[in-house]
Structure 1
């Protein structure tokens, strides 16, 4: 790798031993993937995927202490993934003891470290840092040092920024150093598609289900999706961005997609069209039957597959303000049709703290909460990591949460039927 004189000086210890180790780590990372040089991080803010103070991760927090002691806290400010705990989310006494006395015993220590390292604000905890209310939205062409898979794929695809799927520690090191190795999705060649996805459904496909099918087929490759603009059109409005958020999260978690192109919609696809297809690309046709096949393939790992749901999570990734409004109206209508006032299953909707602040005290916010829905800022995945919670019959509309936990996936329409107590659900 060819370093600039300034980068070489840092590697040689010009700003101390700790900074030299940070740069050495980035160089080794780049060498592993054949990077020829470093490129500057140009986004205003960074983002860290590590937001939880798990006791088993003490070596990570010890390393953060070393970074702080070395004074490496004046680099790029950053947001962080959602907090793991919220007293408003239902737990049993034993579950709460496991959360607070065994699992997340380092939470207070870690959040203090994040303040010293440069988190943007005390409410800067969300996986959807790119939303307007949060304020960490990169510009087209920005180079990022992020790791959160759903945020990386959104920034690359919808915003046209450039970021590889980094690890949790490397992301922070890139923000501290101010540069990252250039390879993969940071390059023009790395952003070309090796798959053409032909969407031939009869109605708008469920984003979480479509993303799952594509992710499992292409894995880490870049897909170019044709036919989705039939339902989404050619404008990146709030509704379409929410759709692509959930779609992308499923491609990234059910596979390892870091970038997708939607023909006639996402920035690079609008500019370059079929020129984005790599020579020798493969084709995958998705119709309604294929989506149903994919859905049937999901394992149900509950002890009793016929058991009634005990808890429902909606919002993984975190919901947008637009989605909160849509869910409020849909849930209200579904409950009214069943002559119910409140949800039939304890339900948690999760969103960024800043989004919740903009919603919860509005008429719609009071309306949703009056239906028995709990609004929370937590990460549902961190909740489900509790061994006791894994035994719960939890349902979700999130393919990401389904993939990483014992939660059972249902489409939005099925979730509405279950929450409204519709017969047969």
Structure 2
């Protein structure tokens, strides 16, 4: 039986009511499955929940929420959410709108009301990149978190030096409600040691999405310690470097199941502890130019017609930072103008956090996007694309995460820009 503090034991024994007791028992059982011997206090200011979509088929979740609300349960810490699945600004047809709003995500409004009662940080707290300054959920080094979103967890662990396991389902909500989580895995010093040494020996900086994909598919859920990347990125976590690591980490987490990586001479724990983070008998994986190309060539094309003309493009999975959003708008705008066109050749959606979109409201970049008919949205591209109605639509993306979970076809940034602007078309 897991060791509990006197306060935790009282909750477990039902002194705060049956509902709190069930929540504690769930966390205890969950922790014991992974060998946890005790709970640890959640010290991060906010939680983060992954289930942000009001799918009709997850009715048990809404029943659970009603039970929690009915019992007067309020989360000890407020929480942010993954992106919303719906945005009427995103191109869609009548049938898609009917299915999305009347059937698939018909419980969205009800669900968001439930979340607000339980502790949602704000009505705009919906982004997979909750750690952006504009979203206000940026943990500090050493903070213990109760989070679930894979790309957010790997960023918090690796780039920010916080501590969090990749919790599942409703577990992260329960951790926020009680203010404690089982101590195992990436919450422990031993669990944060690297069991893989990855040597990057490429002639130039590898594409973040491809390098992350290669490492994720190789190490799976293990922790890699990466050499050579700081030769290209430097030894400072600048905003541009953080953007690179955001996209790199998202690919390691989706193409594999990485929850933490260390970059030699760059990420906080690697700077502080160096090679002492590497476990005995760690395996080695060498990545050179040929390996990068092999990985790209291995991606399956699952369009019915492999030669189909793309009908749509999504950029921003995970959500774009402010600098990324502005950069893409300028690059696309200039490409469209240079090609002598008035709009993009393919309907293109740039997705970013609500706070990031607010930050460029009224700016010249917003006007540029409107002029060439770029769609700026807070939507979750994965939720838009992962359904039978869209599977048959040839959609392109620069996101390895979106490629992995949907029928979208992956291209590197340079090729994406060429395809959506018509500039230098081959």
Q: Which TM-score applies when normalising by structure 2?
A: 0.98
After TM superposition, the structure 1 = structure 2 runs for residues 23-422 of structure 1, keeping only pairs within 5 Å, are 23-422=24-423
Distance in 2 between the 1:18 and 1:278 partners? 41
Which piece of structure 1 moves more, 291-300 or 330-339?
330-339
Cα deviations by residue, 1:363-388 (Å, 9 ceiling, x for unpaired): 12211332221000000011012311
Distance in 2 between the 1:363 and 1:337 partners? 19
CA contact (8 A) 2:335 2:422 kept: no
Cα deviations by residue, 1:136-181 (Å, 9 ceiling, x for unpaired): 0000000000000000000000000000000120000000011000
CA contact (8 A) 1:344 1:420 kept: yes
Q: CA deviation at 1:276?
A: 0.8
CA contact (8 A) 1:98 1:386 kept: no
Which piece of structure 1 moves more, 397-406 or 384-393?
384-393
CA contact (8 A) 2:75 2:178 kept: no
For structure 1, the 5+ residue unaligned runs are: none
Distance in 2 between the 1:35 and 1:148 partners? 21
Cα deviations by residue, 1:57-93 (Å, 9 ceiling, x for unpaired): 0001100111111111141100001000000101111
Secondary structure of 2:58's aligned partner: helix
Task: Give the superposed CA RMSD.
Answer: 1.0
CA contact (8 A) 2:345 2:421 kept: yes
For structure 2, the 5+ residue unaligned runs are: none
Q: CA deviation at 1:231?
A: 1.4
Distance in 2 between the 1:203 and 1:185 partners? 31
Distance in 2 between the 1:284 and 1:371 partners? 44
Distance in 1 between the 2:197 and 2:114 partners? 44
CA contact (8 A) 1:41 1:178 kept: yes
Structure 1 moving runs of 4+ over 6 Å: none
Distance in 2 between the 1:325 and 1:346 partners? 18
Cα deviations by residue, 1:1-40 (Å, 9 ceiling, x for unpaired): 1111111110000110000000000000110000010000
Secondary structure of 1:55's aligned partner: coil
Q: Which TM-score applies when normalising by structure 1?
A: 0.98
CA contact (8 A) 1:220 1:257 kept: yes
Cα deviations by residue, 1:86-115 (Å, 9 ceiling, x for unpaired): 001011111111101110111111000011
Secondary structure of 2:349's aligned partner: strand
Distance in 2 between the 1:391 and 1:412 partners? 23
Q: CA deviation at 1:340?
A: 2.4
Which piece of structure 1 moves more, 197-206 or 328-337?
328-337
Which piece of structure 1 moves more, 335-344 or 227-236?
335-344
Distance in 2 between the 1:135 and 1:73 partners? 20
Q: CA deviation at 1:423?
A: 5.3
Q: CA deviation at 1:289?
A: 1.0
Which piece of structure 1 moves more, 259-268 or 324-333?
324-333
Distance in 1 between the 2:142 and 2:177 partners? 20
Secondary structure of 1:401's aligned partner: helix
Secondary structure of 2:170's aligned partner: helix
CA contact (8 A) 2:75 2:176 kept: no
Distance in 2 between the 1:235 and 1:354 partners? 25
What is the match of residue 14 of structure 1? 15
Secondary structure of 2:115's aligned partner: helix
